[in-house]
Amino acid sequence: MKTIYFTITGMNYYYGTDVVKKGSKVELIKEPDNKYDKEAILVKVDGLGAIGHVANSVNTVLGESYSAGRIYDRFKKRAKGKVVVVTERGAVCELKVEK
């Protein structure tokens, strides 16, 4: 199976990019009631809570990442991810969907 990457965006509205590093684990939680984006996916880390959202715009998706809309139907309510690289614009993560 092809590795699927996603970008965490909006981190500067929470705690900034310093809260994750390469190898950090993150949790993805669908937000179907989000008034700004019907495909919104919140990203959380243990001990802090919300740190951003999965990018869903060509302006915020980094590199070969999938947008939130492209991964939204790949899991039920929650999924896991692992940070691959952190930049000042966000973090690129690998999607870990449990089967």
Residue 98 has pLDDT above 80, yes or no: no
State residue 78's pLDDT score. Answer: 95
* Measured torsion, CA atoms of residues 88, 66, 94, 33, in degrees rounded to the nearest 10: 90
Q: Give pLDDT, residue 2.
A: 79
What the chain holds in terms of domains, given with CATH numbers, is: 5-96 (3.30.70.2330)
Averaged over 63-76, what is the pLDDT?
94
Task: Answer whether residue 1 shows pLDDT above 90.
Answer: no
pTM of this structure: 0.93
Q: What is the pLDDT of residue 87?
A: 94
CB 8 within 8 A of CB 90: yes
Task: Identify the H or E element spanning 25.
Answer: strand 25-30
pLDDT digits (tens, 9 = 90+) for 18-67: 999 999 999 999 999 999 999 999 999 999 999 999 999 999 999 999 99
Average pLDDT over residues 58-80: 94
Q: How far apart are CA 55 and CA 92, in angstroms?
A: 10
Residue 99 has a pLDDT of: 55
